[in-house]
Structure 1
Amino acid sequence: MTPAALSIGFVMLHTSPLDVPGTKDAGGMNVVVRAQAEALARAGHRVRIFTRRSDTETPARVELMPNLTVLLLDAGAPRLLAKGEHEQVMEDFSRLLHTELTADPVEVLHAEHWFSGIAALPVARDCGIPLLQSYHSIAAPPESPFGDGERPESPGRLAGEARLAAEADLIIAVSEAERATVLARLEGDPDRVRVVPLGVDTDLFRPCDTAECEEQRDWLRGGGRPEVILVGRLHPLKGFDLAIEAIAQLPHAERPTLRIVGAPPPDGDDYARALHESVVAHGMLSTTAFEGALRRRELAERIRSASLMLVPSHTETFGLVALEAAASGVPVIARDAGGLREAVVAGTTGVLIAGDDPEVWASTIREMLADGPGLKRMGDAARAHALQRSWQASADRLVEVYREVIAR
């Protein structure tokens, strides 16, 4: 007998699945939640995503597709908030979420990020709904190095994340690296942590076909500069400053063009300005493009037209953009940290580099771009690796975990 479809609620307090990744505080978490929710809806499950209204134009209810609805709750003023300000609206959001779920319950509630978890926890307990928690990033104490994780941008984060590790029914990690962090830093119970691997859209993110990129190939055959791409929010944690410094180490004639895709978060203008100033200071203005945030289809086009992707993030729970590059047949140079060790198969789909030495990064960039056949072999292996991942498989694993916690 076919198992009954589930009624599932995702909670995303501080960022909306309607936001374009790379804008506001939207990033990999937004991509993951929306992709998993769409796969669940296609499989027949009824899915609702609860988020906070940050403008007055978006309707309170948005039907994304059959079985998938986004509900925008009026917690706090309908304006864009800096990430740390969301702690001030958690109580309002919790009250509104309780009203929604009392009127139309779900069988399982899945909170994304600690803001959502703390707001959802009392609602889940009062309504008798099991709560699953995904962190997507876990804060490190303020004095810790960047590689240990994000800063606790609001006062309650460190305590809030630890409380959720102790009180949520199950923790869902996106990688073994994140699971290890939950166990070590939050003293999580290993019997209450499940890893749900991420997928990738291998139809959207695909290699260039012959006709599509023929102009680019002609350009490279004629001695044109290859292109290196960076994708993500313009935030210090992403390490884009290191990528600029690395390319600046190369002789001018050997420098690839650099395409930077992404926008700063609401409180990130200073870092974005510093990146622009660094490009100017290094004489890279004519070979660097700041694209801003792009829609997913445009992003996929940019990635597959690049020769190489750099992911110099100080820490990533997984590093979804590296898997999207792999699906596009584009090798990756990434920092040897966190979940990037799982997103990149070192020596096969890309290269992992430890540390912040721009000369080491520059040398690796030069060597990889100079080896055309090697770059092609690595790109082919990356595509083959990505084809083993899908969002439907990720959603199917989620359903297994949901049914487990419901059965308890």
Structure 2
Amino acid sequence: MSDSPAPLADPHTVFDTTEGRRSVVVLGSTGSIGTQAIDLALRNPDRFRVTALSAAGGRVGLLAEQARRLRVDAVAVADEGALPALREALAGQYGSEPQPEILAGPGAAAELAASPCHTVLNGITGSIGLAPTLAALEAGRTLALANKESLIVGGPLVKAVAKPGQIIPVDSEHAALFQALAAGTRADVRKLVVTASGGPFRGRSRAELEQVTPQDALAHPTWAMGPVITVNSATLVNKGLEVIEAHLLYDIPFDRIEVVVHPQSYVHSMVEFTDGSTLAQATPPDMRGPIAIGLGWPGRIPDAAPAFDWSAASTWEFFPLDDEAFPSVGLARHVGELGGTAPAVFNAANEVCVEAFLSGRLPFNAIMDTVTEVVAVHGSDAQGTSLTVADVLEADAWARARARETAAKYSGGAAGDDAAQPAEARA
């Protein structure tokens, strides 16, 4: 999957450094990344102007409030059924004042991503973020990418349209690697070290995970995230996706990308260089720092996030990954090496299984058992760099149907039609 002569994300190559306030479109504005990005923009009105917002449609009251506070030009919801409620919410916020343009439907976020602006922050969760990612890149926008799934499922598509320096990663791990890589050249890199908190089940064996509940899985020890990402952290699927993402962003082979468990979540990732030195990027767990890098690079936003109190004693621990209890990282490496539509199958099957688990229809260990079986049935394909959006969508639909069928064996019944939809469509 790595045919490009240069990495997608390169801190040494800045795509656009337009002076003055940067105009920003925020996709997924009512989610965790979106709300923190808006907080950052409101605290730095001299640096950023948010011009448009998109959301799934489940929190139209918040979306309308955000639109009024930011005085945006346009708002969008993916769920057309939410349009009447959005109009009512906007009327309540704006009164007799002029309202922003309203867009609705599955293509609304992509339309906003291509609208005039400097930066598009893609904070959508799930593979539905692929179309807005491609739209932003094709329109020549700087892409602050928090939607890892769009890169996972459409890696060759993204690599075909992205220009050097056009993507700035917003994941805490990839923002950390991005910053550490600024200290050397690509030839200097020996390996990337991606850190994992270990989630709420760190240290448990596979047998001890048999009876864990959704409530147990959602009790993350260090990060406050949405339910899908939090469960992905509990299974370490999130870390597997980040390994594939690191490979695509930085053009580093899979055998030079390592995962280590770091419970405190202070060190967000590390780069080991050929001279034996390792550079680590560290901050207290807070996504506003990575978001600030995504929106402001190559500049830094003062006081974007808290810093450490170095006068206070603290202990930082690192442990090897337990591949038996958490096989997701190894499986992710496998599908990343297969390429083609295999990553899309992995991602789609996992989304179905997470939904079934959260709904109480699938045991925790059966999430990865199901995904593994679906990936094995799919096998490899020959798309490679000729991958198309249609290929991705077809593989996504096949994997969701197969995952529902397979999960039924573990749950004792059908996984349910709700699982057929991407998680972000139900947010």
Task: Give the TM-score of the pair, scaled to structure 2.
Answer: 0.34
Task: Give the TM-score of the pair, scaled to structure 1.
Answer: 0.35
